[in-house]
Amino acid sequence: MRDVIAFIEQHAGTPRRVSFELATAAKDLAAELGGKAHAVVVGKGASTLANTLKNYPIDVIHVAEDADADAYLVDPLVDYVESVAKATGPAVILVPYTMIGRDVGSRIAARLGGGLTADVTEVHVGGGRVVSVSPKLGGLTVTSCAFKNVDYGIVAVRPNTFAAREQSGAGEVVQLEKPATKSYPIKIEDDVVEAAGELGVEEASTVVSGGRGVGGPEPFTTILKDLADALGGAVGASRAAVDAGWVPHSHQVGQTGKTISPQLYIAVGISGAIQHKVGMRTAGTIVAINKDAGVPIGEFADLLVVGDLFQIVPELTKRVREAKAVPA
Amino acid sequence: MKIVVTVKLVPDTNADKRIDPATKRLVRTGVETVLNPFDEYAIEAALQLKEKLGGDTTVTIFSMAPETGKEIVRKALAMGADDAAMLSDAGLEGSDVWGTAYAMAQALKKVGFDLIVCGTQSTDAITGELPGALAEYLGVPGLTYLRKVDVDGTTVRGERETDNGYQKVVAELPALVSVTKSINEPRYPSLKGIMGAKKKTITTLSLAELALDRPVGSDGAKTEVLDLAAAPVRGKGRMVNASDGADGARIIVEFLREKKLL
Ligand SMILES: Cc1cc2nc3c(=O)[nH]c(=O)nc-3n(C[C@H](O)[C@H](O)[C@H](O)COP(=O)(O)OP(=O)(O)OC[C@H]3O[C@@H](n4cnc5c(N)ncnc54)[C@H](O)[C@@H]3O)c2cc1C
Ligand SMILES: Nc1ncnc2c1ncn2[C@@H]1O[C@H](COP(=O)(O)O)[C@@H](O)[C@H]1O
């Protein structure tokens, strides 16, 4: 394994933030291995995105402006990644640990008979081998895993753990040929965007989450959303809030939701049950707002402010907006 | 139509999970084992399809797990599935995602299916990689992360969750789907279901019965655990009482400034 291939996840020309994190990680790892960093961009808007990618340290950008990638689920993406992998020879393939990334990663691993590591927060070369580090068991342990007896190692990288770095690489753009394929089996009949332009909880560097204490659906689109917007972040939720039907499941943080590592996590009206904790314990800083001084989240939050969320959150939004307008 | 639900047996989340430093594997003895909670949604989805389709539709539970897991598989049967098949073999110990998907695919070909229903992820590993790899090895369409699923005639259609909405997806059978927890509310087994499950058949398959052309278990694994370390503990931080909203906001803003987050 010498070269490193980053799969660039995008939707209608808009890249996911993690894609630039992957592009940077690919270069750093390729430098350690003495190989090249490649990016694979497929689908509508791929050419424009390829230009943006020139601002990141990538050596070769493989592009396929192929509408099939938007009309059919996953299989076209896997075919293109496979064709690049076969052209580079033994390689590390970085995919994001997101819904699409997991599908691409697992299928390409099966297809190439490669090894797979998931939810990876660090990757490096140790003793001549590629080593992936990932939290396991709800973050209780950290494991280091090496590939063995394989030509391809697929590493599914947790969003928000690698820093993206703007720095031009060779940026050679190569048009990919359409792989000769049978027809694609899964048709996307409709692609419904309900929350356009919203950052997902996995990708946001700040997440403001609400729990049962928030009391209903409304605050999620008003006071919590306002605070998240002021901080440039996303709105998350506990399972209690999701099960009550206040917020869609895609916002849920925890064991049966998403595992996230934002720089800042603000838990509003959330008690901090173990199943919630495993989804956010690797956040950089945790702030909790709760009216109960004895809540479990107080045991692991960096700051617990005891008070009424309905009073504190709007005031906090105001202060954050002021602070951002006039940098201290 | 034959629906097969894949279920994983996992250590109870509330139980104290431990990793054996020598083998670097999860210790599964002495810890209560349960059905992976995500797979209950898969079982429920399959049962609802059976109820809707009627006729000769059957639901089979499939698990790759040691034979000691039989009693937990029986719980899945108690929810209303017709029968079960287990792939149990000492040679499977130490399998990684690759080996698990490969061996399961061969076993599922033997069991036979029109539709496979998986959970999206497991609570012990949380890799969420098995359904994709399985679809690839089986050579069938893999419709993952569905929050709605329906089958009619020879087609499966569903709504796939995305990060900002959903996609309507459709494919021909045979196919594999994975379902998220927003799809349904799993039922509790009834007393009748629990009694009935005792009489249902659980077939056991071993590796010898499968035509494997490559090694599985630890020998076939493509990843190797080098090291396990305890994660840094998150200690108790500061606790401050806010006299009112403005005071609470001030405390947080000062804290964020101190942490250079604002
Ligand atoms: C298998 C399994 C999987 C699970 N997966 C998840 C998961 O993925 N994610 C998850 O979050 N949970 C999960 N749970 C559920 C988890 O155990 C808890 O039930 C859940 O996290 C509780 O949500 P909560 O903190 O919002 O509610 P509660 O525990 O009810 O806490 C509400 C908090 O709000 C505070 N509050 C109320 N009013 C105010 C106010 N006006 N101002 C300030 N504070 C206020 C209260 O003091 C309380 O601390 C799972 C459980 C199981 C069994
Ligand atoms: N050993 C197993 N036996 C049966 N099904 C499994 C097994 N491992 C994983 N699965 C299925 O694959 C899904 C995802 O698991 P995982 O990829 O391990 O997170 C689970 O919800 C199960 O439906």
| Same fold across A3-175 and A206-325 | yes
Q: What is the mean pLDDT of residues A45-64?
A: 95
Q: Do A118 and B169 touch (CB under 8 A)?
A: no
**Chain B residues with CB inside 8 Å of A142's CB?**
228-231
Name B85's Cβ contacts closer than 8 Å, sequence gap at least 6: B60, B61, B62, B107, B111, B202, B203, B204, B205
Nearest CA to ligand 1 atom 7: A254
Residue B141 has pLDDT above 60, yes or no: yes
Cα–Cα distance measured from residue B206 to residue B8, given in angstroms and rounded to the nearest whole number: 17
Q: How far is CA B69 from the centre of its chain?
A: 15
Confidence of residue A107 (pLDDT cuts 50, 70, 90): very high
Over chain B, what HEC string results?
CEEEEECCEEECCCCCCCEECCCCEECCCCCCEEECHHHHHHHHHHHHHHHHHCCCCEEEEEEECCHHHHHHHHHHHHCCCCEEEEECCHHHCCCCHHHHHHHHHHHHHHHCCCEEEEECCCCCCCCCCHHHHHHHHHCCCEEEEEEEEEEECCEEEEEEEECCEEEEEEEECCEEEEECCCCCCCCCCCHHHHHHHCCCCEEEECHHHCCCCCCCHHHHCCEEEEEEEECCCCCCCEEEECCCHHHHHHHHHHHHHHCCCC
Domain locations in chain B?
Answer: 2-220
Q: pLDDT per residue over A170-181, tens digit each?
A: 889 999 999 887
- For residue A132, the surrounding DSSP H or E stretch is strand A129-136
| The pLDDT value given to residue A327 | 62
Radius of gyration over alpha carbons of chain B, in Å?
22
Burial of A180 (0-12, 13-18, 19+ CB in 10 A): exposed
Q: pLDDT per residue over B156-178, tens digit each?
A: 999 999 888 899 999 999 999 99
Q: 3-class SS at A53?
A: helix
Cα–Cα distance measured from residue A10 to residue A12, given in angstroms and rounded to the nearest whole number: 7
Comparing A111-115, A293-297, B25-29, B124-128, the range with the smallest average pLDDT is B25-29
- Give the CA distances from residue A24 to residues A102, A163, A180, in Å, rounded to whole numbers and listed in that order: 19, 7, 31
**Chain A residues with CB inside 8 Å of B137's CB?**
110
Q: What is the mean pLDDT of residues A9-35?
A: 93
Chain position carrying tokens 């394994």: A1
Cα–Cα distance measured from residue B27 to residue B71, given in angstroms and rounded to the nearest whole number: 19
| The pLDDT value given to residue A193 | 87
| The pLDDT value given to residue B32 | 81
Name B20's Cβ contacts closer than 8 Å, sequence gap at least 6: B26, B27
Cα–Cα distance measured from residue A144 to residue A134, given in angstroms and rounded to the nearest whole number: 7
Confidence of residue B150 (pLDDT cuts 50, 70, 90): very high
- Predicted TM-score (pTM) of the model is 0.89
| The pLDDT value given to residue B231 | 77
Burial of B240 (0-12, 13-18, 19+ CB in 10 A): middle
Residue A317 has pLDDT above 60, yes or no: yes
Taking CA–CA distances from B145, the nearest residue in chain A reads A99
Confidence of residue B16 (pLDDT cuts 50, 70, 90): low
Q: Do A106 and B124 touch (CB under 8 A)?
A: no
| The pLDDT value given to residue B117 | 98
| The pLDDT value given to residue A138 | 72
CA distance, residue B49 to nearest chain A CA (Å): 20
Task: Say which CATH superfamily domain A3-175 falls into.
Answer: HUPs (3.40.50.620)
| The pLDDT value given to residue B102 | 95
| The pLDDT value given to residue A183 | 86
| The pLDDT value given to residue B28 | 61
Residue B20 has pLDDT above 80, yes or no: no
Cα–Cα distance measured from residue B45 to residue B41, given in angstroms and rounded to the nearest whole number: 6
Q: What is the mean pLDDT of residues B195-224?
A: 93
Q: Do A141 and B228 touch (CB under 8 A)?
A: yes
Q: How far is CA A42 from the centre of its chain?
A: 18
Q: 3-class SS at A122?
A: strand
Extract the tokens encoding B38. Answer: 């995500």
To the question of domain B2-220 being in CATH 3.40.50.2300, the answer is no
Q: pLDDT per residue over B38-48, tens digit each?
A: 999 999 999 99
Identity of the residue in A118, A119, A305 whose CB atom sits nearest the CB atom of B252: A305
Confidence of residue A198 (pLDDT cuts 50, 70, 90): confident
Extract the tokens encoding A89. Answer: 């020879």
Domain locations in chain A?
Answer: 3-175, 206-325
- The mean pLDDT of chain A is 93
**Which class is A206-325 in CATH?**
alpha beta
Q: What is the mean pLDDT of residues A200-211?
A: 94
Extract the tokens encoding A143. Answer: 């494991």
Residue B17 has pLDDT above 80, yes or no: no
Cα–Cα distance measured from residue A119 to residue A96, given in angstroms and rounded to the nearest whole number: 9
Name the DSSP class of A307: S
Q: pLDDT per residue over B93-140, tens digit each?
A: 989 988 999 999 999 999 999 999 999 988 877 688 999 999 999 999
- Give the CA distances from residue A213 to residues A77, B11, B230, in Å, rounded to whole numbers and listed in that order: 42, 30, 32
Among residues B114, B261, B134, B223, the alpha carbon closest in space to that of B174 is found at: B114
CA distance, residue B90 to nearest chain A CA (Å): 22
